[in-house]
Amino acid sequence: MRGPHNIWRLIRTGATFQRTGAMGQALDAMNAPRRLRVAARLLGLPFAWLGYRGDPALPPVTRAITALGPAYIKFGQILSTRPDVVGAEMAGHLRMLQDSLPPFPTPIARLQVQEDLGAPVETLFSEFSEPVAAASIAQVHRARRTDTGAEVAVKVLRPGIAAAFRRDIDAFHFAAGMIERLSPSSRRLRPRDVISHFESVVMGELDLRLEAASASEFTENTREDAGFSVPHPHWDLSGRRVLTSDWAEGIPMADVPAIRAAGHDTSRLAERLLQLFLSHALRDGFFHADMHQGNLRIAPNGDIVAFDFGIMGQIDEYTRRVYAEILYGFIQRDYHRVARVHFEAGYVPPDRNMAQFARALRAVGEPIFGADASRISMANLLAYLFEVTERFGMATRTELILLQRTMVVVEGVTRTLDPQINIWAAARPVVELYIRDNLGPRAALRDGLKVVQALGRRGPLLPEVVDRQIDRLSRPEPSTIIVEPTAPRWPLAISLLAAGVVLGALLS
């Protein structure tokens, strides 16, 4: 229920940040204006006693986030990959949110395994460890199958996690609605749509059968990717609340000193990680959308191992082409091309000035090129980009939220491996390959073939469609209703069919 009772939840959120001492630390890390910091402290002090106490042993921001619940933890995981935005110290504190949260008792986990898989743990596994990792949604146990002796990872959902997420998301919906009502200018950002998108993603993460399916599909897509591996799911030992998969041995991505000590080239790993993400997004349209350090390891042979496929991103072919052209335009420093793509895709309202938009994009992109990567402030860059989108009335594209968010996270991870990485130089070969394969003559022929195939599938329906259209157009309209003249659609269908036949003949 998205009623006023959520005001209490939001008040407790602010009060928790105040009580734990996280409010000032968070605002300082984000370089908030001094007046905002003073106002937040003055307004928050009277309500501090209403906040959750949290674990006093934790740093303030981590203490507040863990006390507030899983939805807040998800947001903290994103910030943990951005030391350039929140500072290295806070990013280090937040990193524990990735896989080092307090676990729930092992007997409860064993009971859930028995209920979900229909047999006692002792029957299914000859070994079943205490939790080896715990995050916001679930925790992982190291185990060994009784039948094959294979070493596996058993992921078990936290008890009551679905209800906790629903409570938080309910408050987020209420807050988004209040923001839209109180600030009409915020509607272009579509806060309610963004929360709905977040809700659909997170609630899907709570069914581990879907995660197993995502892992299976992702494995098939990336089978030929050098230096990358994915643990296979074990379907016979998986259910809604339990997921069993291959055990992934390796060094956690967050432990950069250990990675270097093992002899791995962190600069090369950073470049490979970024290129793999772009390949999955552009080539397959299906990518890992939660690629923080807690979900990545470096295998002894140097492979990047990804796991935890609860959040996956999917984008259609047209959107992939638009995104690739935007990236390519920035890489080529062709801001007029980037602006034109935005207008053609409908991302910017047609009544805005394209030349002015191109100049605004130049002001975003030019400071990046030729600059030392360590001197680029991503916080300042994002702030200015936000100003540009607001000035030109760009609405939030919910279909790109996961892609954009994951790009930010992946960049943060690569910078922990190599603070000097040149993001644009690393991305260039992947984007150029995609542009060459998908925007050239061969791509046009493939598109034409798809048209022929679509017409072939729908061919038996064309006579019925034509008859229905002619009947509708030949019926007299009521005299009291004014109807705009409508061009018949059947000539277009026949023209497409003829074009398809000709193209099919050429292709054969």
How far are the Cα atoms of 275, 417, 421 from residue 268, in angstroms, in the given order?
11, 9, 9
β strands within 117-241, DSSP E:
125-134, 138-145, 151-157, 228-229
H or E segment to which residue 342 belongs: helix 335-344
Q: With the C-alpha atoms ordered 405, 407, 413, 418, is the resulting torsion angle positive or negative?
A: negative
Q: What angle do CA 86, 397, 367 make, to 5 degrees?
A: 50
Where does residue 367 rank: exposed (0-12), middle (13-18), buried (19+ CB within 10 A)?
middle
Find all residues with CB under 8 Å of 353, minimum gap 6, and list them.
none
d(Cα 156, Cα 165) in Å, to the nearest integer?
16
Tokens of 235: 């379907």
Cα–Cα dist 298/426, whole Å: 20
Strand, coil or helix: 209:
helix
Residues ≥6 apart with Cβ < 8 Å to 115? 241
Nearest to 399 by CA among 290, 282, 320: 320
Q: How far is CA 89 from CA 92, 101, 197, 452, in A?
A: 5, 18, 31, 57
Please state, in angstroms and as integers, the Cα–Cα distance from residue 27 to each residue in 32, 172, 269, 323, 499, following that order.
5, 20, 33, 33, 61
The tokens describing 261, both together, are: 């000590």
Classified as helix, coil or strand, 109 is helix
* 346 touches 457 (CB < 8 A): no
Instruction: Output Rg (C-alpha) for the chain, integer angstroms.
Output: 26
The reply to whether 351 belongs to the active site is no
Residues 6+ apart with CB under 8 A from 103: 130, 131, 134, 139
The DSSP bridge pattern shows strands 138-145 and 151-157 to be antiparallel
**Nearest C-alpha neighbor of 340 from the set 358, 328, 319:** 358
Half-sphere exposure of 412 (CA within 13 A, CB side): 29
Helices and strands (H and E) in the chain: how many:
24, 10
Pair 63, 20: CB distance under 8 Å: yes
Catalytic residue among 84, 168, 246, 290: 290
Give the separation between CA 486 and CA 373, rounded to whole angstroms. Answer: 56
Catalytic residue positions, numbered: 290
